Amino acid sequence: MQKKSNKHYSYLSNDFNLNRREQFLSIFYQAREAIINPNIISMLEFGIGRGSTLALVKHFGVKHTGVDFNDELFEPDHVSTILNYEDNNKYDMVSAFQVLEHNPLVELKDHLIKMKSLSNKYVFISVPYSGRWMSFNFNYNLFPSRFGRASKSIVFTFPRLFLKKKRPIEEYLKREDKYNPHWWEIGDKGFSKKDFSILINSIGLEINKSFHNEFFPYHLFYLMEIKQKKNE
């Protein structure tokens, strides 16, 4: 990746700013599922952003194809949105991390269906969570000769009881940068984790894993598999 300008370089290196250490664990999770699964040889990622996930999975031998609508800041293989993307290939994993919420909620089902249509088995996403959380992380090395060292993370999440967010959709529709705001987040008024799970099941996907980044629970991950037909 070539350095285009100081401003451009500063933006691309933003993942490594100290104030983003907690968020950076999300990149670990984004790459981890493709790297640790020997059945995942190819990965299609929508919204590649700075390319941090690309760099990791490619290093470990996963064939990565990146799609992004912005080719001024980023360097995707293909310039497109999810719904407009055309590809005759299928991929072992189709992913979008902190991307789907930049589109209206009414389009979410169509986005997931499109991602499913491009996948052999897995759809892997992360989305923002607007609920509340508490996170505790323990790491100790007191008696290494006898007990070794250990670490433990505990995350408690719960929906907002009051003041649930309701997005100003009419204002978003008037914006020129329609892909910039979050049109929705899980935990918003009228869109709970349960609502999202029902949506996932309704389109022939089932949740394999669901978890938060324990250092930054705002990021909520869903690893989904395509449901197999009973006669298969």
Element (H, E) at 24: helix 21-36
Condensed to tens digits (0 to 9), the pLDDT of residues 51-65 reads: 999 999 999 999 999
By the 8 A CB rule, do 39 and 100 touch? no
Residue 228 pLDDT greater than 60, yes or no: yes
Radius of gyration of the chain (CA): 19
Domain that holds residue 74: 20-226
pLDDT at 1 over 60: no
For residue 133, give the CATH number of its domain: 3.40.50.150
Highest mean pLDDT among 18-27, 112-121, 149-158: 112-121
The closest of 195, 27, 192 to 126, measured between CA atoms, is 27
CA distances for 10 relative to 5, 27, 73, angstroms? 8, 18, 11
**Is residue 86 a part of any domain in this protein?**
yes
Report the number of distinct structural domains present in the chain.
1
| In a domain? residue 110 | yes
Task: Note the pLDDT tens digit of each residue in 179-227.
Answer: 899 999 999 988 999 999 999 999 999 999 999 999 999 999 999 999 8
- Of the ranges 19-28, 31-40, 87-96, which one carries the lowest mean pLDDT score? 19-28
2 falls within a domain: no
**Does a structural domain hold residue 9?**
no
Q: Is residue 143 part of a domain?
A: yes
In a domain, 71, yes or no: yes
Task: Report whether 215 contacts 135 (CB < 8 A).
Answer: yes
Considering the domain boundaries, does residue 194 fall inside one?
yes
Would residue 15 count as lying in a domain?
Answer: no
